[in-house]
Structure 1
Amino acid sequence: MTDIQSLFKEHCIVPDVVKIAPSELLNVQYPSGVAITMGKELTPTQVKDKPTVKWAAKEEEYYTLAMVDPDAPSRESPKFREWHHWLVGNILGSDMNKGEVLSDYIGSGPPKGTGLHRYVYLIYKQTGKCDFSKVPKLPNNSGDKRGKFSIAKFAEQHKLGTPVAGNFYLAQYDDYVPKLYAKLKG
């Protein structure tokens, strides 16, 4: 078992988000200068802008990237599990610019007093180019249709299999969160 798989189990991402943890590390670097160190705490301020992601991609293959929060609105009461923050499909190789944005990036926004949330990044290798025409395209200025999402069900529906790479961090409320909520009311 790899460190990734051990930490996904230790933090209950397996089974809360996926049944099988990925074996490869997904590198995530934010414009603020911070990178995800698996399972470490970051602030909503540090992760407010869309990051750069890198993994061991094959240039002729298609991939799907997801970022989800299984702890919405809190880990004790996850009635909106999962809230998806970012969803991009049909990424050719590792070129995120060549992907189909299904849900534009929204940074972490854990409500005040709800403690630490897990923010999980997953990469799935597609068997070919997928038809995502029936998937609603969500902008980054609205939280509508993001709650009660299941990346496992989405992966099953689109025949994505199990994730090949992943990473995660923890975050709790900071003074950026009200600014994010104002943006989402748009």
Structure 2
Amino acid sequence: MLWRLPLLLAAYVGVVAGDGQQALGSHNTDLDHIREKLLEAQIIPTVIDDFPPALSLRVKWKHDSAALGNTLKPDHLKKAPVIHLDRVESDALAGAQLSKHMSYVIVLTDPDAPSRDDPKWSEFCHWIAASSQLKFSSKSKSKHHLKDIIKYKPPAPPPKTGKHRYVFFTFIAANGTTKKLHLSKPEERKHWGSDHAGHGVREWAHENGLIPIGKDDLIPISFTEVNISSCEFHIRGKRQAVAPGTSHVIS
């Protein structure tokens, strides 16, 4: 039997820059506006294929939080953030069967390493973490316990490399399984363990049977943004079949 796994990419578009940098946008929760910002920042299609956002992903650090285009100081991002997933009214969510016992994965990637003009280390894996429970918070109070697969490496753009786009993704199993996800672990952060420049989360997701599903059965995602001397984030969903018995399937 084949397992079908969809990918819920909840990404932020955040740019980390120095003091005095102007935010790219406001706390706008309109999903169409979010998609437009992702297109503007070229997260779509550079990092992920085009998709309709459907779930709201919020990322909070002790002294800062991600918002659509705000500027953050790298010093405030030293420790892994708290992740919140929120349901929103969306056609993409209609009929979606989401269980609180589903496992999900949070990913953070930088497509602009060491700089957007010279992305020879792209993509750079900053974080992969998994949770055994999928919870939504309508009152912004839920917190999620995440177990590191690749430890969180805080955004720290090299001096004079301009803005970087840091992108968060969220993955869940399309078949609704509540069993543990077995995912490959990149051997190196650069290129997500590949020898090829530009290799990143999209390819890693494919290798693990996680690709965006079609719009008709898309499971929603949401977006927010952050800024550090270079940083961004977004969202999305899709699916692919993977044979059981490999290191890339649900057991």
Coordinate RMSD, CA, aligned:
2.3
Q: Which of the residues 98, 110, 122 maps onto 2:157? A: 110
Q: Per chain length, whose mean CA-contact separation is higher, i.e. which structure has more relative contact order (CA < 8 Å, sep 6+)?
A: 2
2:82 match? 52
User: For residues 30-69 of structure 1, what are the structure 2 equivalents within 5 Å?
Assistant: 30-32=61-63, 34-56=64-86, 58-69=99-110
In 2, are the aligned partners of 1:121 and 1:168 still within 8 Å (CA)?
Answer: no
Per-residue deviation at 1:170? 2.6
In 2, are the aligned partners of 1:69 and 1:120 still within 8 Å (CA)?
Answer: yes
| SS of residue in 2 equivalent to 1:45 | helix
Judged with a 3 Å threshold, the aligned counterparts in structure 2 of structure 1 residues 166 and 73 are, in CA distance, closer, same or farther, namely same
In 1, are the aligned partners of 2:65 and 2:226 still within 8 Å (CA)?
Answer: no
1:121 match? 168
Aligned length: 163
Does residue 6 (structure 1) correspond to residue 36 (structure 2)? The answer is: yes
Q: What TM-score results when the alignment is normalised by the length of structure 1? A: 0.77
Judged with a 3 Å threshold, the aligned counterparts in structure 2 of structure 1 residues 103 and 24 are, in CA distance, closer, same or farther, namely same
1:158 match? 208
Unaligned runs of 5+ in 1: 137-143, 174-186
Residues 97-155 of structure 1 show CA distances to partners (whole Å, capped at 9, x for unaligned) of 2x4421111111100110111111111222343222x425xxxxxxx711112111111
Residues 55-109 of structure 1 show CA distances to partners (whole Å, capped at 9, x for unaligned) of 1374122211101111000011111111111101354214642x44211111111
For 1:58 and 1:66, the matched residues in 2 are separated by: 20
Matched-pair identity in %: 25
Per-residue deviation at 1:31? 1.1
For 1:79 and 1:168, the matched residues in 2 are separated by: 24
In 1, are the aligned partners of 2:84 and 2:144 still within 8 Å (CA)?
Answer: no
Q: What TM-score results when the alignment is normalised by the length of structure 2? A: 0.58
2:115 match? 74
User: Residue type matched to 2:205 in 1?
Assistant: A
Per-residue deviation at 1:52? 0.4
Unaligned runs of 5+ in 2: 1-30, 87-97, 136-142, 193-199, 213-219, 231-251
Which of the pair has more CA radius of gyration? 2
| SS of residue in 2 equivalent to 1:109 | coil
In 2, are the aligned partners of 1:44 and 1:109 still within 8 Å (CA)?
Answer: yes
2:58 match? 27
| SS of residue in 2 equivalent to 1:46 | helix
User: Residue type matched to 2:229 in 1?
Assistant: Q
> 86-95 or 107-116, which moves further after superposition?
86-95
Q: Which of the residues 229, 234, 237 maps onto 1:172? A: 229
Does residue 101 (structure 1) correspond to residue 148 (structure 2)? The answer is: yes
User: Residue type matched to 2:227 in 1?
Assistant: L
In 2, are the aligned partners of 1:90 and 1:130 still within 8 Å (CA)?
Answer: no
